[in-house]
Every structure is written in C-alpha cells, then in structure tokens.
Structure 1
C-alpha cells in the first residue's frame, strides 16, 4: 500500500508544474513562495534547537498560535518552524510579530522531499495538528529518530473506517507517532485502536483562541446598516438548511419587523440555487459581494465570498451552525462561541458531539430540530440574551488546556535536548 501511495505522489509530482500554474492563476498559490513545496526554503535555519509545527490551514494555525507565543518564552528553544499548506494561512501568519518563529509551506509528501526537508530544518521534535497524517514524512521522521507528536488530534468515524480498511498500511503509519493528544473522547478511542503507542487526554486547544478578533473587522458601512436591526446568523449551511432559515425568518419577522438574517453557505457555488429558493418565498435577498450601501428592506443577507465567516459572528449574538439538520456531522462551534455568540445546532453533530455536549451544559449551545424549534430558540435569545459569564467559563477551560499543553510540549522538548 505504501508503494501505491508513492506512485500517486510521483504522479502528483509529474503534474505539479501544471497544478501550480493554475493555482497561481486562481490566486491560490504564492508565485514567490511556491518553491517551498519543493523544499527550496525561503528562510534560514538558525543554529540550535527547533520545534516544528505543521497544520493544514487557517483553523489549525490559529489554534496553535497562543501555544507558540508561550513556547517562545522557553530560552532553550532557538527557533520555531510552522508549516501550512494554504495561501490564506500564510497571509494570516504575516499579521503576527514573532521573534523566533518562521513560516514555510509544507513540502510534497514524497520520500525525497521528506529527506531534503528534514535534513535542512533538523527539528528537535515534530508536532502535527489535528488530522494531518502524511505517510512519507512520518516514515522519515521515525527513521531519523525525531519524536513525532499528533496535537489536538481529530479523527472522525469516516476517517477511522478508511484507515481500518488498510490495516497493515495504517499500522505502519500510526506506529511512527510517539504521543498523541486527542481533542475528544471519540478520537482518543480511535487512536488507541489504530495502535498509537501513547495517547493522553488534555482537551481541545480551540477552546482557547484569543486571536480571532484580529481578523473579524467588518466594513463600517455594513456595521452602521445593521446597528438598528435584530440580527441572527446561519453559518456553514448545507442544502435544505437555507430554506429552513428563510422560513424561520418569515415567522420571526411577524414579531421583529427590523429582523436581518445572515446566511453563510458552506459552498458558495450553490449561491444561485439558494437565491432562487429564497426568492420563491417573496423575501428580499442581498448578496455580500454586491457591497450594498443600505440594507433598509433586506430580509436575507447572503454571504457569497470565502474567508469572511468569522467577521459576521461579531455582528450577531446568535449563530446557527449548519451541516447539522440536513447535513451530517456538524461544524466546529468554538469559532462563534469564542467571539461571544450563542450557538444553535441540529441533531446531526457526530463529529463534534463532545464539544456540543459541554457547550450545552454551559448553556452556550442549544439543540433545534427544524423551523419551529429554531424560531422559538432565536425568539428567546433575542428577548433574553445569554449571560456573558457563561463565556468566561469557556475562557477558563481554554486557559487550562493551553497551560497543560504548553507544559507537555516543553517537557517533550526538554527531555529530547537532554539526550543530545
């Protein structure tokens, strides 16, 4: 199976110039930095000990930044390397002023590039975030006897079933992990079944995120327009959920004449279909991309651009998280709750059930099943906004998780440098 994986990677390499070219045209790649993916570094490796973090994109990056800020205080750590795979995450990184930390793009997962990357950066320990499992570089990390940590690990049932379907291959991959810190109970059990040698519970790092507000500034005109309105937001919606939200708006508007419903679909290629559906209900719909100067008679404000979701969480104290009624698995509710929003969610949140269970207990999240219960919940929250003290409880949990994680990483790092 590993041989087949290498064939797929080789084919990717053959077509990579073409892939990179089209990604640059679509502004998904940095034309000045794409060579980093082929192990041509743009930053220098300074002498001394280095911790390497790898996360896929923006979410993973933001989840570790508070931790990185803490680790920079460790005088034994000379440099911290963060790799990601997306342009958006690289742009976010630029907004921070780190003393020891540099960013590079993650290399293509071939044996050759894995050796080249590790020979240049020579990490003291390697830390991969959430679901980042890369067979080639894991293998070479193990060969070089570099401790490999899976931090804030997240494995869904679907992912677990795929790995179990190739059991021999999965064993060869997961045995390279020295220690894993799962973000929930489900992942803890899956990692044990995947034969990770050491699995330790701490909690979800995303409970502590003091960085989101840096990227949530909305246009002043928009903020002025929504100021007199009652606003609620439906985020990461999937097919069938937009019409539920629109019907909820109709019911609520009988009581709240100045109501504004913001809908942020998970996939914006569906926007034209959503517009047709909602217009059939005789509602006034405005697209975010049209940059409207006034929203006087607007019922539905449809966000048809990527990368701006978090901005809208601050405009509403009430957020319905999609992929939970007509979808399957749910979406991460911690982004809106970290910004002070109360979350409503449907019955299908298997991918985040531990998180929703805790938020429900803290009275920050409430379950709904359809138009009727969604309408009732929003009405109640408009009339009686959630107690802000509840959000301080999240901050307290998050701080505890951050401190425990910092202590664990410092311990792993210090144990390793004692060997050298």
Structure 2
C-alpha cells in the first residue's frame, strides 16, 4: 500500500465513522444489556462529559481493561504527585471499578469515547488534554489522528505488539506509518516489541520493561482471607485463574482425577469473565462436583470440591489461598494472561504453551524456574499432582517466581524518564496557575 493510498484509507475511515455514528445507539444499548457498559454512563461513550474540566493543565491517560488499568495506577499516582490533573479513561465496567478502588476521586474517570469522529471530537473539545498517554496496544486511528491534528503529544507506554497484530500491520506498513508518525514516543515492554514498533515507523522507541511488574501485589481484604482460610483448613489446594471457555471444565476434570490421590483437595476456579458464572456452575455441577460461588457468599464446606471465584477485584484473595496457579487463556485459547500477579505472590506458575502476549514475562519465569508450560490437560494434571506431592519442588518454583518479578522491576522509573520532558512544562504551568489564583 502506498503512502497516498494509506492516507486515503484513513480519510475514508473518518467519513465511515461519522456515517456510522447514528447507528451506534443500538450497539451501545445492546452492550449495556449484557453488562458490558455502565447503563448510567453510556453518554460518555459518545464523548459527552460526565464532569466539568478542572482548571490548569490536564493529562489524559487511557487504559483499555483491567490489566492495563492496574499497570498504569503507579504511573498515574506518580503524575498526580507532580500536582497535575489526570483524566483516566477505560473501556470496561470492571476496569472502572479498579479505578474507583485504587485511585478513588484523585483522578477524573470517564469511559473512553467510541473511535468515531463525532465522539472523539466532542471528548477532546471538552477536556482539551495537554498530553495523551496510551497504555499497551490501544491503537485507535480516529483518536490518534484527532490528537495529531490538535498537536497534542501522544506517548504509548508499556507498548506491546502481539504476533497477530504485527503480522496484520506489516501487510499495511504505509497505513501503520501514517498512524505511528503521530506518536511522540513509544515506550515498549521488550526488545521484540520495540523492534516491531520501529519496523512499523514509530520513532523514537525506548524499551522500559513491563509496568505490571512495578505494581504492588494485588490487594486483599484480610478479614475475608482469614475467614476462607479457616474454612479451608489444611486441605490441599490449587487454582486455575483468568480462565477462558473450556479451561474451567478442564480444571474440574483435573480435580475429579486428583481428589482420590489428594483427599480433601479444593480447586479454586477464577474465570476471566465472572458473567459466565451461572453457566459454569451448572456445567461443573452436572459433573457430580460440589461447587460454591464466592459472589453468593456460600461457605466452603468439608465436602466442597470447587470454589468458583466469580467476583471482580479479588484475585489477590484467591491467589493467597494456594501455592499453585494455572494461568488461563493458554490452553483452550491463544495469547495467555498475565503471570506476574501469581508470581509476585510466591506462587508456582503453570500455563499452556500459547502465551505469546506475555512472551517476555514467561521467558524470564521459565529461565529462572518459576514457571512451567504444559502441553494439554493430562500434562497439567500431572504437573499439579507433582507439585502437590513434592513440597521442595513447589517451594523452589515459588521462590524463583518471586525473585524473577523482583529482578524485572524498574519499568516505572524508565517510563517516567521518557515522560519527564512532556510533563515538566505542565508542572510549571500548573504551579503558575495556582499562584495566579492565590
């Protein structure tokens, strides 16, 4: 594709988005009916602000979903420490709850506008950000172009480029260059990610490491943790977390196969999407296993087989109930989920082989012996059985996982070093603004 063709295509994308704008109402309403949108705040998806803009400079930080939001929380807290206002946008209901839990009213939270010109323009007209910081792999053409047209610096932080995305962009390098030339800087997670962004025309590119490593361990309600620990007692446990379709049933089958070898075994299953809990409870119950749901407050009894972790924001609770965790989306699906939270909580990490989205983190864990990849259900069952039987091997993996995370820290300071030239003028402006009011 030529440069001229790429720019023509982006122009068509702009007009197509404007034409589709009237049709977005039914789409957003459908998502709201499925619990994927906040029914009381759908107007924000059209760029209609839910709050007034504060005086002074304003930095817009965008994080798509829960993982990205958790990753940028320390970054946002650091920026707030400079005395500059932050508006943080997310795209999911669950990530909005994370913002409330971890940042409270220290930031302005809004749902990100749909990537169509009327919504993006309305959002930017109201908030008028002085700097845009985008997390991980959120490449929205209209938003990038509109920010570029307004000369708002855009920095991609914790940048990640999956195998699939890179292959897709390589077929359209001129289109990629037309978009990425609007980015003032890309801060990539790994050397591989950095090289991919450079190949697609991004300049300059810095490699920082993964911001998720510099986050604190997932929080926990200590009272709730002690209640569950008393209910579990000395029973052996393992967990399957961030699971996707097919992996929950697999975990239940592994439980059924291992409970004779390990009397009292409790399996903790935490689906990536808790909305599937009803379906999963029926499916696992039909296998003759006794299941309790965390969301219903059901206690763990002596004969409970499965604890279904169908709540939001309690990963820190579930991981503290076990020393063995299978991280999902790695056997029945592709790409994997983040293994760093289990690792930083001294957990032996197991996963399938499809972990491309977190390649660097898994490579580090595998090299140090903190994680093990399995081929299929039977191999996973064997690994869980081995770790339940061999305390020394389990402890060795747990220690290695925690040490790996500790060695990977430093991404936050590296990212802030890149952001300093963009933020410092805003810090001066904010101080002058406050002095003028005084």
Q: Secondary structure at the match of 1:212?
A: coil
Distance 1:289 1:400, change over 3 A: closer
CA contact (8 A) 2:46 2:113 kept: yes
The aligned counterpart of 2:413 is: 403
Q: Report deviation, 1:133.
A: 0.8
Q: Report deviation, 1:372.
A: 2.6
Q: Secondary structure at the match of 1:203?
A: coil
Distance 1:345 1:382, change over 3 A: farther
CA contact (8 A) 1:153 1:187 kept: yes
Unaligned runs of 5+ in 2: 1-8, 431-438
Over aligned residues, Cα RMSD in angstroms? 3.3
The aligned counterpart of 2:161 is: 155
Distance 1:271 1:325, change over 3 A: farther
Q: Report deviation, 1:145.
A: 1.8
The aligned counterpart of 2:138 is: 132
CA contact (8 A) 2:211 2:411 kept: yes
The aligned counterpart of 1:316 is: 322
Pick from 58, 64, 71: which aligns with 2:79? Answer: 71
Of the structure 1 ranges 245-254 and 232-241, higher mean CA displacement relative to structure 2 is found in 245-254
Q: Report deviation, 1:328.
A: 2.6
Instruction: State how far apart, in whole Å, the 2-side matches of 1:98 and 1:293 are.
Output: 30
Say if 2:362 is the partner of 1:352. no
Q: Secondary structure at the match of 2:301?
A: coil
CA contact (8 A) 2:243 2:272 kept: yes
The aligned counterpart of 1:81 is: 87
Q: Secondary structure at the match of 1:89?
A: helix
Say if 2:240 is the partner of 1:234. yes
Q: Report deviation, 1:351.
A: 2.1
Q: Secondary structure at the match of 1:33?
A: helix
Instruction: State how far apart, in whole Å, the 1-side matches of 2:333 and 2:39 are.
Output: 37
Distance 1:394 1:173, change over 3 A: same
Instruction: State how far apart, in whole Å, the 2-side matches of 1:44 and 1:229 are.
Output: 53
Distance 1:3 1:379, change over 3 A: farther
Map of 1:2-401 to 2, 5 A cutoff? 2-6=10-14, 8-10=16-18, 12-75=20-83, 78-96=84-102, 101-210=107-216, 212-213=218-219, 218=224, 221-238=227-244, 241-242=247-248, 244-246=250-252, 248-250=254-256, 252-266=258-272, 269=276, 272=279, 283-288=289-294, 291-303=297-309, 308-369=314-375, 370=379, 371-381=381-391, 384-386=394-396, 390=400, 393-394=403-404, 396-397=406-407, 399-401=409-411
Q: Secondary structure at the match of 2:110?
A: strand
Q: Report deviation, 1:129.
A: 0.4
CA contact (8 A) 1:213 1:339 kept: no
Greater per-residue helix proportion: 2
Instruction: State how far apart, in whole Å, the 1-side matches of 2:326 and 2:220 are.
Output: 23
Unaligned runs of 5+ in 1: none
* TM-score, normalised via structure 2 length: 0.82
Of the structure 1 ranges 341-350 and 375-384, higher mean CA displacement relative to structure 2 is found in 375-384
Q: Report deviation, 1:378.
A: 3.9
Q: Secondary structure at the match of 2:205?
A: coil
